[in-house]
Each structure stands twice: as structure tokens, then as C-alpha cells.
Amino acid sequence: MKLKVTVNGVAYSVDVEVEEEQRSLGTIITGSRSSSMTEPATASVQGVAANAVVAPLAGSVSKVLVSEGDEITSGTVLLVLEAMKMETEITAPSDGVVSAINVAQGDSVQAGQSLVEID
């Protein structure tokens, strides 16, 4: 293959040899006659109540602004999460009564973790 290359304004004609890559399939195993059984992997997944407000992202609980038994309206700020030096207000999706607070100030939380339950 012939290429034209320009270096510092000077054009050069270059011949390049290209080798074709040889590809082959590795061993293909379609079944196993092994008598040993492998244990299935387990995952740690927490169940979340249907009425739970969950963390939208991983972070730490900066402030808890409600208590169990508080009557709240939609949009009420329940708590504040801090992640990467930014604060995120977690608000109530609907009117109700706070039935459980599943975190405390300073706790680390993962995305999808239940924070507060509202009845």
C-alpha cells in the first residue's frame, strides 16, 4: 500500500506492507459432564416498601428534616443528601404521614435505598 505523508510541510511517499490478521476461534464447550455442581451466585438486594421514598443517588445523609408521625404535603423536603460536595433535597412525592425513617444524619446511602416511608 502506498501512502502520502506530510511532515513539516514536506511530502513523502511511503510504501507500507499490511499483514492480514489471522483469527481463529478458541475452544467451544457445548456441554459438561462434570459431576461437581457450582453454587449460584447471590446478590445482596434490599427490599423496598411500595410507599418508600428512595435515594436517587449514592451519598450521605446531611440533614433529616422530618420525624415519624409528621403530617406532610407533597413537595415537603424530607431530608438532604450530600454527594460530591453538592446537596440534593429529597421531597415527598405525595401527602401523608411519615411512618418510618430508615436513615439517620451521617449515614451513607446507595441509590435505590429506602430513606423514608409515607402512609
* pTM to 2 decimal places: 0.58
Could you tell me if 14 and 2 are in contact, meaning their C-beta atoms sit under 8 angstroms apart?
A: yes
Q: What is the pLDDT of residues 46-93, one digit of tens each?
A: 556 678 889 998 999 999 999 999 999 999 999 999 988 899 999 999
* Domains, in order of start, for the chain: 52-118 (2.40.50.100)
Q: What is the pLDDT of residues 11-25, one digit of tens each?
A: 888 887 777 766 666
pLDDT at 105 over 70: yes
Residue type, 11: A
| Predicted pLDDT of residue 79 | 94
